[in-house]
Amino acid sequence: LFADVSDSTRLYEQLGDTGAFGQIKDCMQTLADVTTKFGGWVVKNIGDGMMCAFQGADSAALAACEMQKRIAYRPPQKNRSKLSIRVGFHCGYVLREGQEVFGDTVHIAGRIASMATASHIAITAAAAAQLSPELNFRVRKLAAMPVKGNQQAIDVHEIAWQDSGVDTHLSGRPGAMANLVEPRLHISYQNRNFVFRDNLKLGRDATNDVVIEDPMASRNHARIEKRKEHFVLIDTSTNGTYVTFSDQKEIAVRRSEFMLYGEGRIAFGDSPKTRPDVAEIRFRCELPGQSSTI
């Protein structure tokens, strides 16, 4: 299991080296305490993150959920900024030498963690398959993503931890589930808000569901399709589409598909990193079983 602080660069800019280092050090200690609580061990600290190992999938999942809760719900203190972490884990055989572990399982776990966004837990299908029913029902599939060094894409899943009713004793499912039975996609653009329950088209042409006012956008730039419980972005443009998540991780989509999840921004024709005034929409995916905040 890998866990690291999201957007630590911003923290150092806000607090300076001493203040940021102190906060990250406290965060690492919290993660280490949680790891020990669930029978795991810290393999090593890696910059602003940590690598740890567990004997089973349930222990790793419970630890990951508690890590997120401990960091998200830390009581406010003077001169302390809000932190968020991203977590990822994979299950499989490893070579162990003392506290160190090696092998392809470690490599995949690290790659999966790098795909997670702030305040999220990403896991592989292999890890999801080993979870007990009490935890597995909190898992949803995100997308099949390529992993460097592997010939085939790997199915990435997510564990929902916010108000999930999952505690350290596996006390059962939450008492009340959201009434949402169909996925909804919330779009915000130019002070207008839209809610879509089906497919939509985006581009400069006036016939699109959302008309993008930017010369870099194509007339029929992209579409978003609802597929079962998910929304998939399909780029059909000349210049590409750029998806940015809350932790500032950017995905370039060119003549290909990408499954949307969580919330973030979609830019048309150029990256906001190279052109800050590029046209962007904000999106939020609301899926069945998630608590609605609308």
Q: What tens digit of pLDDT does each residue of 126-175 get?
A: 999 999 988 888 888 877 776 666 667 788 889 988 754 443 332 233 33
What pLDDT is attached to residue 238?
93
The three-class DSSP label of residue 159 is: strand
211 — pLDDT class (breaks 50, 70, 90): very high
Percent of the residues in the chain that have a pLDDT greater than 70, as a whole number:
85
Q: Are residues 228 and 119 in the same domain?
A: no
Q: Decide if pLDDT at 217 tops 80.
A: yes
pLDDT band at 12 (very low <50, low <70, confident <90, very high): confident
Give the pair of three-digit tokens for residue 88: 């990822």
Percent with pLDDT over 90 in the chain: 45
> Does one domain contain both 68 and 111?
yes
Higher pLDDT, 249 or 196: 196
Over its C-alpha atoms, the chain yields an Rg (Å, rounded) of 20
Mean pLDDT for the chain overall: 83
On whether both 217 and 143 belong to a single domain, the answer is no
pLDDT at 254 over 70: yes
Query: Are 137 and 230 in the same domain?
Result: no
* pTM of the entire predicted model: 0.59
Please compute the mean of the pLDDT values over residues 109-125 and round it to a whole number: 88
pLDDT at 179: 42
Of 8-22, 85-99, 141-155, the range with the lowest mean pLDDT is 141-155
3-state secondary structure of 219: coil
In a domain, 120, yes or no: yes
Which spans in the chain are helix H? 8-37, 57-72, 104-115, 125-129, 133-136
pLDDT band at 292 (very low <50, low <70, confident <90, very high): very low
Give yes or no: residues 6 and 109 share one domain: yes
The highest-confidence range among 10-24, 71-85, 115-129, 248-262, by mean pLDDT, is 115-129
Statement: residue 64 has pLDDT above 90: yes
Residue 148 pLDDT: 65
Q: Which amino acid is at 202?
A: L
Q: Are residues 12 and 153 in the same domain?
A: yes
Whether residue 212 sits in one domain with residue 124: no
The structural domain count of the chain equals 2
- Cα separation, 31 vs 119, in Å, equals 14
CATH of the domain at 216: 2.60.200.20
- Output the pLDDT for position 271: 94
From residue 170, give the alpha-carbon distance in Å to each of 11, 51, 52, 59, 273. Answer: 35, 24, 22, 11, 43
Residue-level pLDDT at 94: 92
Torsion of CA 122, 125, 127, 128, to 10 degrees: 90
Residue 173 identity: R
> Residue 39: which CATH number?
3.30.70.1230
At which of 142, 159, 176 does a domain end? 159
Inside any domain, residue 30: yes
Beta strands in the chain (DSSP E): 2-5, 41-46, 49-53, 85-89, 95-97, 100-102, 121-124, 139-145, 154-159, 184-189, 192-196, 200-203, 210-211, 222-227, 230-235, 241-245, 250-253, 257-260, 263-268, 280-286
**172 within some domain:** no
Q: Which domain holds residue 56?
A: 2-159
The tens digit of pLDDT for each residue in 263-274 reads: 899 999 999 999
DSSP 12: H
User: Is position 174 within any domain?
Assistant: no
